[in-house]
Amino acid sequence: MIANRVISKFVLPYDTSSTPYNNSDFDPEVYDLCQQELGSNHLRVAKCIVVGDIAVGKTCLINRFGYNVYANNYKATIGVDFDVQKFEILNTPFSLQIFNIFAIETSIHKLLYH
Ligand X SMILES: Nc1nc2c(ncn2[C@@H]2O[C@H](COP(=O)(O)OP(=O)(O)OP(=O)(O)O)[C@@H](O)[C@H]2O)c(=O)[nH]1
| Alpha-carbon gap, residue 14 to 27, rounded angstroms | 19
Q: Say whether residue 98 binds ligand X (CB under 6 A).
A: no
Q: Say whether residue 90 binds ligand X (CB under 6 A).
A: no
Can you tell me which of 46, 54, 108, 112 binds ligand X, judged by CB under 6 A? 54
Least distance in angstroms from the C-beta of 49 to ligand X: 13
Can you tell me which of 72, 107, 110, 113 binds ligand X, judged by CB under 6 A? 72
What is the separation of C-alpha 80 from the centre of its chain, rounded to a whole number of angstroms? 15
Q: Say whether residue 68 binds ligand X (CB under 6 A).
A: no
| Alpha-carbon gap, residue 112 to 46, rounded angstroms | 18
Identity of the residue numbered 51: V
Spatial neighbors of 112 by CB under 8 A, at least 6 apart, are: 101
Identity of the residue numbered 13: P
Least distance in angstroms from the C-beta of 13 to ligand X: 19
Q: Which stretch binds Mg ion (CB under 5 A): 13-21, 52-60, 61-69, 86-94?
A: 52-60
Spatial neighbors of 96 by CB under 8 A, at least 6 apart, are: 45, 46, 47, 48, 84, 85, 86, 87
Least distance in angstroms from the C-beta of 22 to ligand X: 27
Binding site for ligand X (CB under 6 A): 52, 54-60, 72, 74, 76-77, 102-103
